[in-house]
Chains A and B, each alone.
Chain A
């Protein structure tokens, strides 16, 4: 093989590797941690997670800086008007093209055992672990819950 040929092959191999890595990208937007009221050592994190990917991925666990424990949770309400919050043990699927929405009153990252009370404006580092994408580091800004509640 000529030098030019070898170079071309190397380039193709490199491109293929870059494209393979690029074909499975986790993104997170509109992410925030709710400022807890005084004296409260639990709170929740929210956000919209997208997977630019071909195959379904799964968010399996979360670690939040400064917290003793962080878990994936769901708040559910039945037709009887009773609300319940439960831990999600086997992770949450993220399908290509369908954003995973973590929002007040629904899916959330539950943060427990916070040492110091986070205040609006603080930034909290966290690691989201996905089955395929592996560990993804994210920094969550802390914000007071918006005045209109669940609406924009």
Chain B
């Protein structure tokens, strides 16, 4: 009797281990997948009311990153960084179009984005989509975003923080992560202009 329980216990344990290993493997594959295919179709409203699509990336060099205006810490930090990188590149920076895409279309209107991004730089364009348009761009850019409700009735957004560099064909060239130094970021952007 006891032995049967033991065998059952061991089998259950093995099943748990197998499930965990399977889930980890699946996650690993998904993460690898993210690294190979970033970019693709999107259509969004720029903060000046014009429409920006994947076609607008062609023949330009682009920098695409995501956030939201009610973000008090990481988003403004990133916007200030992007603005300072573009400024440091001087003339070369003019070849790069920088897009700040909101993951919070519920609260971020084009007007609000205009006021927000202009505070940081005149070189950054805010993009706003409908819920469906954001979903499409998120699929193309392998973007993760999720609404997290707070106790006080407000909410915050979790989101992918990487800054994507897109080449003259509108395809993925490189990414700048949160931990990159100023010099590393400017070096990557310089490479984007020269080789992208």
Q: Considering only CB atoms, which chain B residue lies closest to A111 in the complex?
A: B72
A82 touches B160 (CB 8 A): yes
Contact status A85-B73, CB under 8 Å: yes
Interface 1/0s, chain B 60-78, versus A by CB < 8 A? Answer: 0000000001111110111
| B window 125-139: CB within 8 A of A | none
Interface string of B138-182 (1 = CB under 8 A from A): 000000100010111010101111100000000000000110011
Q: Is B120 in the interface zone, CB < 8 Å from A?
A: yes
Q: Does B31 contact A (CB under 8 A)?
A: yes
Asked whether any CB of chain B lies closer than 8 Å to the CB of A5, the reply is: no
Q: Is the C-beta of B53 less than 8 angstroms from some C-beta in chain A?
A: no
Interface size, A (range): 20 to 34
Interface 1/0 per residue, A123-152 and B, CB below 8 Å: 000000000000000000000011111110
A41 to chain B minimum Cβ distance, whole angstroms, is 8
Q: Which of B78-100 contact A (CB under 8 A)?
A: 78, 80-81, 83-84, 87
Output the residue of B73, B119, B160, B161 with the most chain A CB within 10 A.
B73
Task: Give the chain B neighbours of A104 by CB distance below 8 A.
Answer: 73-74, 77
Q: Is the interface of B mostly helix, strand, loop or mixed?
A: mixed
Output the least CB separation between B170 and chain A (Å): 21
B112 is an interface residue with CB less than 8 A from chain A: yes
B116 contacts A by Cβ under 8 Å: yes
A:62-107 near B, CB below 8 Å:
69, 73, 75, 77, 80-85, 87, 104-105
Assess the A37–B178 pair: CB atoms within 8 A: no
In the complex, are the beta carbons of A37 and B115 less than 8 A apart?
yes
For B80, give its contact among A84, A112, A146 (CB under 8 Å). A146
Query: Knowing A77-B161, A105-B74 touch, does A148 contact B81 (C-beta < 8 A)?
Result: yes
B120 touches A37 (CB 8 A): yes
Min CB distance, B74 to chain A, in Å? Answer: 5
Contact of B152 among A36, A69, A80 (CB under 8 A): A69
Is there a chain B Cβ closer than 8 Å to A60's Cβ?
no
Give Cα distance in the complex from A148 to B69, angstroms. Answer: 20
Given contacts A37-B120, A38-B115, contact A83 B159 (CB under 8 A): yes
* B residues apposed to A, CB below 8 Å: 31, 69-74, 76-78, 80-81, 83-84, 87, 112, 115-116, 119-120, 144, 148, 150-152, 154, 156, 158-162, 177-178, 181-182
* Nearest 3 interchain pairs by C-beta: A149-B81, A37-B119, A83-B161
Given A40-B69, A80-B31, A105-B178, 14 additional A-B pairs, CB 8 A: A34-B76, A36-B76, A39-B69, A40-B70, A42-B70, A75-B73, A81-B160, A82-B158, A85-B74, A87-B150, A105-B73, A108-B73, A147-B83, A151-B181
Q: Using a CB–CB distance below 8 Å, which chain A residues touch chain B?
A: 34, 36-40, 42-44, 69, 73, 75, 77, 80-85, 87, 104-105, 108, 110-112, 145-151
